[in-house]
Amino acid sequence: GAVVSQHPSRVICKSGTSVKIECRSLDFQATTMFWYRQFPKQSLMLMATSNEGSKATYEQGVEKDKFLINHASLTLSTLTVTSAHPEDSSFYICSAWGLAGGPADTQYFGPGTRLTVL
Amino acid sequence: AQKVTQAQTEISVVEKEDVTLDCVYETRDTTYYLFWYKQPPSGELVFLIRRNSFDEQNEISGRYSWNFQKSTSSFNFTITASQVVDSAVYFCALALEEWANNLFFGTGTRLTVIP
C-alpha cells in the first residue's frame, strides 16, 4: 500500500528557532502534498497544498512567511516553521496524493510530527 | 460551502458490542466523495473507505459496515463485535473532487472500547 513517512516524529525546540519537517512518499510519486495541523482533541485543519515544482497554496489565515513549504520533488515536501513560538505547538500531519501510477483514490497520510515549542 | 458534522464527540462501548458512528454532511454539489479515516493513538490516519455520491449501496468489510443515505445526507459507520484495537478517533470527510484534493474533515469521534 501507499506509505508516507514524516521526520521527525517529535521535536522540541526553543522559542524563536526554526524547525523543518519532512514528508516523503515512499512507494509512489506524489503529485500533490498537503499539510495539516491538528490541535489536541480537534480535527485536522488544512494549512496548505503543494504541487511539485510550484509554489504552495495556503489556506486563509495561514501565514506563508511563517510556514514555508517546499515541494522540490515528487517524493518530498518540507514544512519549515520559522521563528516558532509556543502557540505553534501542535501536531503537524502531511498527506500525499499521487497520479502517474500512484494511488489516486484518496490522500495517504503520514504519521504526524508533534512539535512542542518551549 | 461544505460541512461535515460528527455529533458524537466520544463514545465508550464494552468489547464485543456493536457501535455506530454518525456522520452528516452538507454540500450543494451533486457529485461528491465521502471518506472515513481512523486515527489510532499513534496519530497516523488510516484510510478506511471512499464512496461517491452516485453509489448508495451499503458496504461491508469484515466487521466494518457503512450506510450511505443521500435522503438524510448521512454516511454512518458501524463496527460490529467491537475490539479493543478499534479504540481510536474516527474522522468522516468529504471531497468534491474524485482525487480528494480538498478534504473537509468532521471533528471526529473518539471511540473507546473497554475490555
Residues A19, A11 contacting (CB under 8 angstroms): yes
Q: Indicate if the pLDDT at residue A30 is higher than 90.
A: no
Cell of A79: 514544512
Note the pLDDT of residue B44. 87
Note the pLDDT of residue A99. 63
Sign of the CA dihedral A27, B44, B97, A49? negative
List pLDDT tens digits, range B23-69: 999 999 999 999 999 999 888 888 899 888 998 888 899 999 999 99
- Contact check, Cβ <8 Å, A107/B100: yes
As a whole number of angstroms, the distance between CA A81 and CA A63 comes to 10
Among B35, B42, B106, select the one facing A43 at the smallest CB separation.
B106
Q: What is the mean pLDDT of chain A?
A: 89
- Contact check, Cβ <8 Å, A97/B99: yes
- Give CA A21 to chain center in angstroms: 7
Note the pLDDT of residue A104. 61
Note the pLDDT of residue A108. 87
Note the pLDDT of residue A1. 66
Minimum Cα–Cα distance from A107: chain B residue: B100
Cβ within 8 Å of residue A27, ≥6 positions away: A2, A3
Q: What is the mean pLDDT of chain B?
A: 92
Pairing relationship of beta strands A10-13 and A19-25 according to DSSP bridges: unpaired
As a whole number of angstroms, the distance between CA A74 and CA A51 comes to 9
Closest CA to A96 of A81, A82, A114, A78: A78
As beta bridge partners, residue A36 has A46, A93
Closest CA to B113 of B81, B84, B91, B89: B84
- Contact check, Cβ <8 Å, A49/B42: no
